[in-house]
Amino acid sequence: MRFPRHVDIDFSEFSPENGNPSPRYGLRQDIQFCRKCVISNQRPSSEVEFRHNIATRKVTIVFDEDGICDACRVAELKHGEVDWEERRRRLVELCDRHRSKTGDYDCLVPGSGGKDSFYAAHVLKHEYGMHPLTVTWAPHIYTEWGWRNFQSWIHAGVDNYLLTPNGRVHRLLTRLAVENLYHPFQPFILGQKNVAPKMAEKMGIPLVFYGEHEAEYGNPRADFESPLRDRQYYASEQSAGMMFGGVSVEELIADFGLEKQDFIPYMPADPTRLSEAGIEIHYLGYYLKWHPQSCYYYAVDHGGFEAAPERTPGTYSKYNSIDDRIDDLHYYTTHIKFGIGRATYDAAQEIRSRDITREEGVALVRRFDGEYPDRFERENFEYMSLPPDEFPKAAAHFEQPIMDREYFLHLADRFRSPHLWVLDGNDWKLRKTVWNESSQ
């Protein structure tokens, strides 16, 4: 049985007495929190998801010798050295070069209709005179307000292609990603990075604009020197060795009832075809000083964007990434694997944007991080369940194809790293937290 419902865990590794707990995932043994924001040095950088398996060793965010993370250093540049006037000129020049004179789309804006993509598409159209086509890679499960915001985006005045993957395939990959990587969001991330470049190539729109530069939230700082996303994340020559949900393509075909066409939405782009078509993936955040909170205000003013009616579990925010119910689980799993929950991510970003102080960020993390997301639990578990009548081949590999809380929480324990977690009686606690930096 490939996926037993229970695997014995050696809890002694998590004992408070274990003075030398070993880190998993290639994470650093020592845990440190940025002096300026609240992120920890365990934060993994972006993964090349289509080659991601359990043995993958994580590259984590860099802290310099002053104990300050790369993202904060980038923020300092943003608020200081960067000549935004010069960057804006480069954007104008880029747009001038691409602006269509023949009545065609001249740029592609991937997004969900969230505050950031709303801003990106709208500002490109109205301030820079471009003719964007927006493209959306569907969330696993839309929230009501997420769908409404998506519609508001379109009705504020953009064309849009919505690509929704085969529901059965997407669910299977989600379940596999959870089992093998404790990473339910992987199928979404695959499309998020791949769909736009491939669409751009198919539609003959060479210029693609993502929003916020990933160096701003912790990818390698050197990346901030370029407006372009590193190709390795969305394009690949070799089709050999590709994995989805931590399972190779060959095995997925042989054992899980999939066929080659099922992978079309998830495959990285062909770099040769991208080069020939002159596809360029830019971050708009390289040219325009990005402030997510201002994007919120912009989206409300120009398109009637609505914040969620309630805060997302695990954080205080009501407007960050609110369109996918599975998102609730994503941050729960990052908390389990890396000790970093959603409040940490949100607070770190707001500290760098100077919207909140570190003191407040710490208090927010303490209060909200790692909160169990029960609001969409039933739907999310149904989504990740593989009833045999729907998944005849795949379900056979699972001792318990139907997911429930007990299963999910037991899985969590199998993915905890002893260097992050200590088991105190029946309570799991982080060995080190941002609000109490001395080790347990």
Partner 1 sequence: MERIEPIEAGGKSLRLVARLDVKGPNLIKGIHLEGLRVIGDPGEHARRYYEQGCDELIYMDAVASLYGRNNLLDIVRDTARHCFVPITVGGGIRSEEDADALLRSGADKVAVNTAATERPALISALANRFGSQAVVLSVEAKRRPGTAGKQWEALTNNGRDHSGRDVVAWASEAIALGAGEILVTSVDQEGTRKGFDVDLMTAVCDAVNVPVIASGGMGSMADLAALTRAASVDGVAIADMLHYKRATFDDIRAACNASAVPVRQVA
Distance of CA 316 to the CA centre of its chain: 18
Contact 376/322 with Cβ under 8 angstroms? Answer: no
Interface with partner 1 (CB under 8 A), residue from 143, 317, 334, 380: 317
316 binds partner 1 (CB under 8 A): yes
Contact 147/123 with Cβ under 8 angstroms? Answer: no
Which positions from 378 through 417 interact with partner 1, judged by CB under 8 A?
none
300 binds partner 1 (CB under 8 A): yes
The neighbour count for residue 173, using CB atoms within 10 Å, is 27
Taking CB under 8 A as the binding criterion, the range among 61-69, 76-84, 309-317, 385-393 that sits at the site for partner 1 is 309-317
Contact 218/37 with Cβ under 8 angstroms? Answer: no
Interface with partner 1 (CB under 8 A), residue from 22, 297, 392, 440: 297
Interface with partner 1 (CB under 8 A), residue from 76, 306, 379, 413: 306
CA distance 227 to 389: 48
Taking CB under 8 A as the binding criterion, the range among 9-17, 103-111, 191-199, 292-300 that sits at the site for partner 1 is 292-300
Distance (Å) of CA 39 to CA 198, 339, 342, 345, 437:
33, 10, 11, 7, 12
Which positions from 349 through 378 interact with partner 1, judged by CB under 8 A?
355-357, 359-360, 363-364, 367
Interface with partner 1 (CB under 8 A), residue from 293, 302, 358, 428: 293
The minimum distance between CB 185 and partner 1, in angstroms, equals 23
Return the number of the residue (355 or 382) whose C-beta is nearest partner 1.
355
319 binds partner 1 (CB under 8 A): yes
Q: Residue 209 gets which letter from DSSP?
A: E
Which positions from 93 through 152 interact with partner 1, judged by CB under 8 A?
144
Structure tokens at 66: 């002053």
Return the number of the residue (252 or 356) whose C-beta is nearest partner 1.
356
The minimum distance between CB 363 and partner 1, in angstroms, equals 5
CA angle 234, 240, 244 (to 5 degrees): 60
DSSP letters spanning 216-229: GGTS-GGGGG-SBP
Structure tokens at 318: 């009501």
Q: For binding to partner 1 (CB under 8 A), which residues are involved?
A: 144, 293, 296-297, 300, 306-307, 309-311, 316-319, 355-357, 359-360, 363-364, 367
